[in-house]
Amino acid sequence: MDKYQTFYQPDTELSNLIQSIGVQLADWVCALSQASVLQLEALKLKSIQASLALDHNSLSLIQLQQLAAGKRVVALVQDIRQAKNALALYQQLDSFRPYQSEDLRKAHAAFMLNVTSDAGQYRQQGAGVYEDHKLVHMPPAPSVVAAQVEELITSLQQYPLHPLLLSCLMHFQLASIHPFSDGNGRLCRLWQQLVLMQWHASFCYLPFTVMLKEKSRDYYKSLRQANPKHDATSFILFMLRCIQESLATELQLMQSHQPAMGLPEQPFIELSQFVQLKAQKVKTKTSGPWYKTEDQILKKLKKDNRLSAKTIADELGLSSRAIEKQLAKLKAEGRLVRTGPAKGGRWQVVA
């Protein structure tokens, strides 16, 4: 238990933030009591979309809203699967217990259903967190992941700390353990929310992940800076500031009676138009501010190292020639290695 005390240093700003958030929560509860069902659902969707976007999902808020309403949207198949999984998971959010490792695995299984082959299972391979081809964090070996997760959630449940601090430590330590092969980021953010909900139910509707998305560079920087020295003080301060700012922003929006969701900045292609374009064999590139084509290629090959250039091209809406050029570039840069014969061989993602 003592080792968890080293993960943060008492700080005057920490105390002030906790006190300030407590005051804001009283106003937040009052605002929620006057909100409509549609407004409450919109707040949940904002939270889901922002967390998915942090993991490079390309769906916009309006697309997620359409998906939740049962409408069809035009996007990458993988992104739609992840979004549908997240929507289904958030419908049963109250059933998950933040201090049960079994529920952590169940949540991962729901998040990654039909996305990864090891959904709901701890990773069986080593992992590394890279930034610009530089290793910034080496998570523990697979053989100790289960024990470390169990120790973490058991210890934090018994630890006499304010729930705001506990939630940040849960987020930080799960990110450090990196228990799954994929989807760790959204699980960390969800588990922090669950700890907060157990303390104050109103956190079910606070989309603080929107603030993390807007400050994504600082978010990842605070995690990166904390890990090497195992001092989460900077990360906790960052998270509490985001929660405070999120409360202030959402309260202002609700008090000014502004709609929870704006209109899309650009008109979306109707499904009938999309089918017509495909029939005419017109290739269009799926746009999105959250990724580059080469990043999407590497992401797909990490999940399935047997994919062909044609399969990747079809999934990304690009020509096979364009994908082959990207593959050649990645091999030349040393980020991708091809092993085995041309047919039946495998790809190895180096970084």
Let me know if 178 is a catalytic residue.
yes
Closest CA to 270 of 259, 261, 278, 280: 278
- CA-CA distance, 238 to 243, in Å (whole number)? 9
- In tens, the pLDDT along 259-281 reads 544 434 443 444 444 344 444 43
- CA-CA distance, 251 to 249, in Å (whole number)? 5
SS3 160: coil
Q: Does domain 292-349 have CATH number 3.40.50.300?
A: no
- CA-CA distance, 231 to 6, in Å (whole number)? 6
- CA-CA distance, 259 to 316, in Å (whole number)? 33
What is the residue extent of each domain of the chain?
2-255, 292-349
Give me Rg for the CA atoms of the chain: 21
Beta bridge mates, 130 = 135
DSSP 234-294: HHHHHHHHHHHHHHHHHHHHHHTT--SSPPPSSPPPPHHHHHHHHHTT---PPP-TT--HH
Q: Can you tell me which residue has the tokens 């964090």? A: 137
Given the candidates 1.10.287.310, 3.50.50.60, 3.40.50.1370, 1.10.3290.10, the CATH classification of the domain at 2-255 is: 1.10.3290.10
**Is 216:161 a contact under the CB 8 Å cutoff?**
no
DSSP state, 100? -
- CA-CA distance, 243 to 137, in Å (whole number)? 26
DSSP state, 96? -
Catalytic residue among 178, 200, 230, 257: 178
Q: Are strands 129-131 and 134-137 parallel, antiparallel or unpaired?
A: antiparallel
121, amino acid identity: Q
> pLDDT of the chain along its 351 residues, tens only?
344 445 677 788 999 999 999 999 999 999 999 999 999 999 999 999 999 999 999 999 999 999 999 999 999 999 999 999 999 999 999 899 999 999 999 999 999 999 999 999 999 998 877 766 777 678 889 999 999 999 999 989 988 889 999 999 999 999 989 999 999 999 999 999 999 999 999 999 999 999 999 999 999 888 887 655 567 888 999 999 999 999 999 999 988 865 544 434 443 444 444 344 444 433 444 433 334 678 888 888 888 888 888 888 877 767 777 788 888 888 877 788 888 776 777 888 875
What residue numbers does the annotated binding site for ATP cover? 182-189, 219-220, 227
**Which pLDDT score is estimated for 3?**
47
Dihedral in degrees, nearest 10, Cα atoms 123, 104, 298, 216: -130
SS3 348: strand
**Which pLDDT score is estimated for 332?**
76
